[in-house]
Amino acid sequence: MSASQSPAIEAGKVVTLHYTLRDSAGNELDSSGTDEPIQYLHGIGMIVPGLEEGLAGKRQGERAKVVVKPEDGYGERDPRGIQEVSRDTFPPDTALEPGTEFEAEGPDGDPILATVVAVAADKVTIDLNHPLAGLTLYFDVSIKEVRDATAEELAHGHAHGPEGHEHEGHD
Ligand code: ZN
């Protein structure tokens, strides 16, 4: 199948891709690795909005470099996200040092990733901002496959793997 005949990425397509994410200095922040590519259902906000927008219209076999500004990525850093909490908030045996990431409860009750900024004798400064907040994100994406989502995938609102319905969480 040539690239021009393969379907373009749009809402309702399942996209399989490899990606590398770097910051503005070129440091690698994340990647899909060398093994299994990732898969997502396009058009429903499963990935950050700027990346979803940047991939629209691309086809199987294409590479895409997508630059995502903070407002289209993980948001700007919110200074109110820096908070001081009592050391007792953490179990006594927890190893705490600057950079330690842990799961905290976000403002809407959902779990969010938080980071330890500083540790004093009885206080711990934490940052509730997403680790990628405030950053311009540089994605390098290699598109492996674009296909129509199945009715089941559309009903569930996510992509299913090659073996069909193999994830947990619902029937
Ligand atoms: Zn499902």
d(CA 131, CA 15): 25
Q: Is the pLDDT of residue 111 over 90?
A: no
Q: Find the 157 Cα to ligand 1 centroid distance in Å.
A: 7
Please report which confidence band the pLDDT of residue 42 belongs to, taking 50, 70 and 90 as the band edges. very high
How high is the pLDDT of residue 165? Answer: 63
Task: Answer whether residue 171 shows pLDDT above 60.
Answer: no
Residues 6+ apart with CB under 8 A from 146: 6, 7, 8, 9, 13, 14, 15, 16, 58, 59, 60
pLDDT in tens, 142-164: 999 999 999 999 999 999 987 66
Rounded CA gap, 10 and 46, in Å? 13
What sections of the chain are H helices per DSSP? 49-55, 151-156
Please say whether the beta carbons of 11 and 42 come within 8 A.
yes
Distance of alpha carbon 112 from alpha carbon 115, whole angstroms = 10
pTM (two decimals) = 0.80
CA of 162 from ligand 1 middle (Å) equals 12
pLDDT confidence of 167, banded at 50, 70, 90? Answer: low
Residue 112 or 167, more confident = 112
Which residues, in sequence order, are CB contacts of 77 under 8 Å at separation 6+?
70, 129, 133, 134
- Ligand 1 geometric centre to CA of 138 (Å): 30
pLDDT at 117: 95
* Centre of ligand 1 from the C-alpha of residue 155, in Å: 8
| Per-residue pLDDT at 140 exceeds 60 | yes
Q: What is the pLDDT of residues 47-59, one digit of tens each?
A: 999 999 999 999 9
> How many whole angstroms from 40 Cα to the centroid of ligand 1?
12
